[in-house]
Amino acid sequence: MGIKQEFGQKIKRMRINRGLTQEELAEAADLSQRAMSGIETGENFVSAETLDKLVLALDTSTEELFATDHLKMGEDLRQFIDAKLDIISSDPTKLAIVYNVVKSLSKE
């Protein structure tokens, strides 16, 4: 998947999470619904001006918009978690919190 498609999916997720229709977001960003559809499907990419409008319309930041931590998969996630556990392992309070979260997630 290319950057245009990833970006479009991120815009769509953020729009849905905010309870907006595609038409509502297009209007808030001063775009046509056709242009908004093209962005969400990855057919079109945004100009800097359109990016600014989307950031304002979605009440977000460019950092959040381009964050890709959610794209980490499998072994990358495991390595990230292991590294963070190494950092907090000397803090019994944080370790207990992690234990309780993992325990609650593993209940069947």
pLDDT digits (tens, 9 = 90+) for 84-94: 888 888 999 99
Residue type, 47: S
The CATH class, in words, for 3-69 is mainly alpha
pLDDT at residue 55, rounded to an integer: 95
Q: Is the pTM of this model over 0.75?
A: no
Identify the top-confidence range among 1-10, 41-50, 71-80.
41-50
| % of the chain exceeding 70 in pLDDT | 92
Go through 20-56 and write b for each residue having 16 or more CB atoms within 10 A of its CB, e for each that does not: bebeebbebbebeeebbbbbbebebebeeebbebbbe
32-71 pLDDT tens trace: 999 999 999 999 999 999 999 999 999 998 888 887 665 5
pLDDT at residue 21, rounded to an integer: 96
CA atoms within 13 A on the CB side of 47: 5
Q: Which residues of the chain does CATH 1.10.260.40 include?
A: 3-69
